[in-house]
């Protein structure tokens, strides 16, 4: 409810709306704390309403004590129902979030049409984003837990990787370790990409058997009570070569330097620049094919963005990744990533793990 | 490529388009076989183009041999790039998929604006849906494997559930068992909902400890090479009561009767009606708060839909769930679900497991 009040402050007082429809899945989680409803309508003149289909009605009723819960009956059209309510509340200017592509284009067009004589409908993405990118203490508690669970998963990776084991088998051990300690699942598809596949930043994991000398990029994240974490380490099966060590140390230095400058008021693109300079100076600039990082929270990718084009500045309460990488086709890739919390003076790492290429299985 | 040709047949020959933009994530998987690209543009006059950002460029180049792969460079706007290409190809009528809410409303509006003088842009959801709902042999091989993995997960649930164990701990065992055998992850968030929480059809799983007499709804699905499976069994911790057995037998009969009539040319709503009648006749009609089932494939919920409003008819190659349930607030819920393949004469169950309330731990 405190969050709904904060949203009202932004959209009603500052942006001149008198109604707002929340439809984005992560935004719904942010305001309700649990999934199961397709939208929330808030308005200047009435109580906030959660709409819900019959399948989840009992659950939402039980959990959403601060809201009016309205059942969408069988055969009722949600869009029509909302349009009617918007008219009844005499909303003149309705805002609509759509960060992740929701609502459907068709739904948007329909709502706009139904309200064309009474209400102006306008997409307003920034309002909720601005709230969500600054995590409150309740959120940070969950994100710290997600970080701890992810670190446990990474520890497991260092133990499980050895010659002959398959990528998906390592993923199984990692996910099981996180789950056993209370993870709600993974924040994204686990990546255990070995050998030449390690050169693909989003390599997923396959049935490939690891062999001595392979680089293995392990990029994992636990989900704890809907909050995500994101962490990468790169290992070598068996003993690392001199070349692997050389590239590793460059990425390591880039990541460390970038982490060190992460704090409030720093420009996101400047953090990217610091990591990128280390890699460019070493002659590997063209192999760093992505931005340095991204915000993390209810979604694993959310604002702010840390790359060369970013216009974001970091503020206290942002949680972001710092993840430089070097990817050389046919040879392999190396990436190091932590999820960090932006504070006034320096960053707090939410993911913790050794910075080493060496696994615990050297046989 | 065979699938792209089939799509061309539908959208160019039958529907009068001369260009089509695929942006929906599951549709992209259907045509490419792997993720990592934001869209594919096909046209009557040119080669099919996959657009891809630099982070995934090497991977898509390596895997998408049949397509032209175009890099979206840093600073380039994807929408502008597509609009330019559409104009260059002299596309007069461009179709656009948007099943799961992609592309963003904002993206759609932008594209429409950029092309307003040269090209008519029209949302066309049905074309790809119609193709995707009939699975080919290659897809069925993957779906059978997903079904087997899910059945292994359910076997594990029957072994893991006992007094004192937490919901998420059971989920950990289930997911680990599926992963170890080759699952790529879960098709959706695992549900292990016990006690009063079993009355919530989408109960997820929590830290709740199970106790004797609890109903436990276990709803799980493996993902195998992007194909989903979906299966539910309900168990009792310890010995089932007479009342639990009574309700269980009603759901069991409803599910069995419905499965028996699933075959080609049957109306989806008639299958729902058969299950619903069993439950209504027993006096529990109002506790069956959802439709009977849904299509499964690259998405865990896709057409056709089996409920009272459905206009779908089943055809050979459809894969659907059959999942009646009875949910009584404060008492608990019982659901039984299998994923089945529609054939000419009868359904083939892709998920297999015992139909019993009794776990293997009776202590």
User: What residues of A are in contact with residue B222 (Cβ under 8 Å)?
Assistant: none
Q: How many CB pairs under 8 A join A and B?
A: 120
- Cβ neighbours of residue A148 under 8 Å, at least 6 residues apart? A352
Q: Is the pLDDT of residue A109 over 80?
A: no
A62-88 residue pLDDT tens: 888 778 999 999 888 888 899 999 999
Task: Considering chain A, tell me which residue range(s) the CATH 3.90.230.10 domain(s) occupy.
Answer: 134-349
Q: Classify residue B77 by its DSSP letter.
A: -
Answer yes or no: do B200 and A108 touch at CB < 8 A: no
pLDDT for the residue B101: 45
Beta bridge pairs of residue B332: B328
Answer yes or no: do B202 and A36 touch at CB < 8 A: yes
Measure B344 CA to nearest chain A CA, in Å: 31
Complex prediction ipTM: 0.87
Of A108, A168, A202, the CB nearest to B55: A202
Q: Is the pLDDT of residue A154 over 90?
A: yes
The CA-atom distances, in angstroms, between A162 and each of A210, A361, B294 are 7, 6, 42
End-to-end CA gap in chain B: 56
Contact in structure between B334 and B234 (CB atoms under 8 Å): yes
Lookup result for tokens 């008492």: B331
Q: Among A333, A326, A332, A328, which residue's Cα sits nearest to residue A290?
A: A326
Instruction: Output the average pLDDT for chain A.
Output: 93
Q: Which of A78, A179, A309 to mutate to test the interface with B (most CBs of B within 10 A)?
A: A179
Answer yes or no: do A179 and B176 touch at CB < 8 A: yes
User: What residues of A are in contact with residue B182 (Cβ under 8 Å)?
Assistant: 168, 207
* Whether B285 contacts chain A with CB within 8 A: no
Per-residue confidence of chain B (363 residues) as pLDDT tens digits? 789 999 999 999 999 999 999 988 899 999 998 888 889 999 998 889 999 998 889 888 888 887 899 999 988 888 889 999 999 999 999 998 875 444 456 677 788 889 999 999 988 888 998 999 999 999 999 999 999 999 999 999 999 999 999 999 999 999 999 999 999 999 999 999 999 999 998 888 999 999 999 999 999 999 999 999 999 999 999 999 999 999 999 999 999 999 999 999 999 999 999 999 999 999 999 999 999 999 999 999 999 999 999 999 999 999 999 999 999 998 999 999 999 999 999 999 999 999 999 999 765
The CA-atom distances, in angstroms, between B48 and each of A157, B5, B10, B51, B67 are 40, 10, 16, 10, 6
- Cβ neighbours of residue B20 under 8 Å, at least 6 residues apart? B7, B8, B11, B12, B41, B42, B43, B94, B95, B96, B97, B124, B127
Answer yes or no: do B55 and A289 touch at CB < 8 A: yes
B224-282 residue pLDDT tens: 999 999 999 999 999 999 999 999 999 999 999 999 999 999 999 999 999 999 999 99
To the nearest whole percent, how much of chain A has pLDDT over 70? 97
Measure A204 CA to nearest chain B CA, in Å: 9
* Whether B209 contacts chain A with CB within 8 A: no
> Alpha carbon B68 to chain centroid distance?
29
Q: Is the pLDDT of residue A102 over 60?
A: no
User: What residues of B are in contact with residue A123 (Cβ under 8 Å)?
Assistant: 105-106
| Tokens describing residue A352 | 């913790």
Window A:173-202, CB contacts with B under 8 Å: 175-176, 179-180, 182-186, 189-190, 199-202
SS3 call for B246: helix
CATH fold of A2-132, please? Answer: Creatine Amidinohydrolase; Chain A, domain 1 (3.40.350)
pLDDT for the residue A361: 79
User: What residues of B are in contact with residue A168 (Cβ under 8 Å)?
Assistant: 179, 182-184
* Whether A311 contacts chain B with CB within 8 A: no
CA B105 to CA B304: how far, in whole Å? Answer: 25
Measure A64 CA to nearest chain B CA, in Å: 14
Answer yes or no: do B185 and A182 touch at CB < 8 A: no
Of residues A171 and B61, more confidently modeled: A171
Answer yes or no: do B180 and A203 touch at CB < 8 A: no
Measure the CA dihedral A319/A321/A322/A327, to 10°. -170
CA A103 to CA A97: how far, in whole Å? Answer: 8
User: What residues of A are in contact with residue B58 (Cβ under 8 Å)?
Assistant: 199-200, 289, 327, 329
CA A57 to CA A67: how far, in whole Å? Answer: 13
pLDDT for the residue A103: 46
Of residues A46 and B150, more confidently modeled: B150
| Tokens describing residue B104 | 């963003």
Answer yes or no: do A55 and B202 touch at CB < 8 A: yes
Of B98, B183, B185, the CB nearest to A104: B98
Q: Is the pLDDT of residue A363 over 70?
A: no
A194-241 residue pLDDT tens: 999 999 988 889 999 999 999 999 999 999 999 999 999 999 999 999
Of B106, B108, B290, the CB nearest to A54: B290
Of A169, A186, A329, the CB nearest to B58: A329
Answer yes or no: do B55 and A290 touch at CB < 8 A: yes
* Whether A104 contacts chain B with CB within 8 A: yes
Task: Considering chain A, tell me which residue range(s) the CATH 3.40.350.10 domain(s) occupy.
Answer: 2-132
Q: Which of B179, B273, B286 to mutate to test the interface with A (most CBs of A within 10 A)?
A: B179
Contact in structure between B183 and A204 (CB atoms under 8 Å): no
DSSP helix, strand, coil percent of chain B (3-state; round to 5): 40, 20, 40
Lookup result for tokens 């390690």: A198
Q: Is the pLDDT of residue A349 over 70?
A: yes
User: What residues of B are in contact with residue A176 (Cβ under 8 Å)?
Assistant: 172, 175-176, 179
In this structure, of A126-140, A260-274, B51-65, B294-308, the range with the lowest mean pLDDT score is B51-65
What residue in A sits closest to B181 (Cα-Cα)? A169
User: What residues of A are in contact with residue B98 (Cβ under 8 Å)?
Assistant: 104-106
* Whether B172 contacts chain A with CB within 8 A: yes
pLDDT for the residue B338: 98
Contact in structure between A36 and A59 (CB atoms under 8 Å): yes
| Tokens describing residue A250 | 């460059």
Answer yes or no: do A175 and B171 touch at CB < 8 A: no
pLDDT for the residue A105: 67
Answer yes or no: do B202 and A171 touch at CB < 8 A: no
What residue in A sits closest to B71 (Cα-Cα)? A289
* Whether B224 contacts chain A with CB within 8 A: no
Answer yes or no: do B309 and A56 touch at CB < 8 A: no
SS3 call for B223: strand
The matching CATH number, chosen from 3.40.190.10, 3.90.230.10, 3.40.640.10, 3.40.50.300, for A134-349 is: 3.90.230.10
Contact in structure between A320 and A211 (CB atoms under 8 Å): no
Q: How many residues does chain A have?
A: 363
pLDDT for the residue B176: 97
- pTM here is 0.91
User: What residues of B are in contact with residue A202 (Cβ under 8 Å)?
Assistant: 35-36, 55-56, 59
Q: Classify residue B101 by its DSSP letter.
A: S
What would the 3-class secondary structure string for chain A be?
CHHHHHHHHHHHHHCCCCEEEECCHHHHHHHHCCCCCCEEEEECCCCCEEEEEHHHHHHHHHHCCCCEEEEECCCCCHHHHHHHHHHHCCCCEEEECCCCCCCCHHHHHHHHHHCCCCCEEEECCHHHHHHHCCCCHHHHHHHHHHHHHHHHHHHHHHHHCCCCCEHHHHHHHHHHHHHHCCCCCECCCCEEEEHHHHHCCCCCCCCCECCCCCEEEEEECEEECCEECCEEEEEECCCCCHHHHHHHHHHHHHHHHHHHHCCCCCEHHHHHHHHHHHHHHCCCHHHCCCCCEEECCCCCCEEEEECCCCCCECCCCCEEEECCEEEECCCEEEECEEEEECCCCCCEECCCCCCCCECCCCC
**What average pLDDT score do residues A175-203 get?**
94
* Whether A242 contacts chain B with CB within 8 A: no
Instruction: Indicate the pLDDT class of residue A108, thresholds 50, 70 and 90.
Output: confident
* Whether A55 contacts chain B with CB within 8 A: yes
The CA-atom distances, in angstroms, between B2 and each of B5, B9, B85, B130 are 5, 11, 24, 15
Window A:116-135, CB contacts with B under 8 Å: 123, 125
User: What residues of B are in contact with residue A186 (Cβ under 8 Å)?
Assistant: 185
Q: Is the pLDDT of residue A59 over 70?
A: yes
| Tokens describing residue A115 | 């309200």
User: What residues of B are in contact with residue A174 (Cβ under 8 Å)?
Assistant: none
**What average pLDDT score do residues A270-281 get?**
98
Lookup result for tokens 């590793």: A248
Measure A144 CA to nearest chain B CA, in Å: 18
- Cβ neighbours of residue B67 under 8 Å, at least 6 residues apart? B32, B40, B47, B48, B49, B50
CB-CB neighbours of A239 under 10 Å: 12
């Amino acid at each position: 409810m405190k969050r709904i009040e904060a949203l009202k402050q932004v959209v009603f007082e500052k942006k001149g709306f008198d109604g707002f429809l929340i439809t984005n899945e992560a935004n719904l989680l942010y305001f309700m704390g649990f999934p199961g409803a397709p939208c929330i309508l808030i308005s200047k003149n009435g109580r906030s309403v959660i709409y819900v289909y019959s399948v989840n009605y009992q659950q939402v009723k039980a959990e959403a004590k601060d809201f009016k819960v309205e059942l969408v009956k069988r055969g009722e059209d949600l869009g029509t129902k909302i349009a009617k309510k918007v008219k009844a509340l005499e909303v003149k200017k309705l805002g609509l979030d759509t960060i992740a592509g929701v609502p459907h284009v068709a739904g948007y067009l329909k709502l706009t049409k139904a309200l064309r004589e009474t209400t102006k409908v306008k997409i307003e993405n920034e309002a909720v984003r601005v709230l969500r990118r600054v995590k409150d203490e309740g959120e940070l508690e969950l994100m710290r837990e997600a970080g701890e669970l992810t670190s446990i998963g990474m520890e497991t990776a260092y133990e499980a990787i050895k010659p002959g084991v398959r990528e998906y088998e390592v993923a199984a051990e990692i996910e099981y370790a996180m789950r056993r300690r209370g993870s709600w699942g993974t924040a994204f598809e686990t990546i255990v990409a070995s050998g030449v596949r390690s050169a693909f930043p989003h390599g997923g994991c396959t049935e490939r058997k690891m062999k001595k000398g392979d680089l293995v990029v392990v990029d994992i994240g636990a989900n704890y009570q809907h909050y995500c974490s994101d962490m990468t380490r790169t290992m070598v099966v068996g003993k690392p070569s001199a070349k692997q060590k050389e590239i590793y140390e460059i990425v390591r230095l880039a990541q460390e330097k970038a982490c060190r400058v992460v704090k409030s008021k720093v420009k996101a693109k400047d953090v990217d620049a610091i990591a990128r300079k280390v890699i460019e100076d070493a002659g590997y600039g063209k192999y760093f094919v992505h931005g340095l990082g991204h915000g993390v929270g209810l979604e694993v990718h959310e604002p702010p963005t840390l790359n060369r084009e970013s216009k974001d500045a970091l503020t206290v309460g942002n949680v972001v990744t710092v993840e430089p990488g070097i990817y050389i086709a046919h040879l392999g890739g190396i990436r190091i990533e932590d999820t960090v919390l932006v504070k006034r003076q320096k960053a707090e790492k939410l993911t913790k793990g050794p910075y080493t290429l060496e696994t615990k299985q050297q046989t």
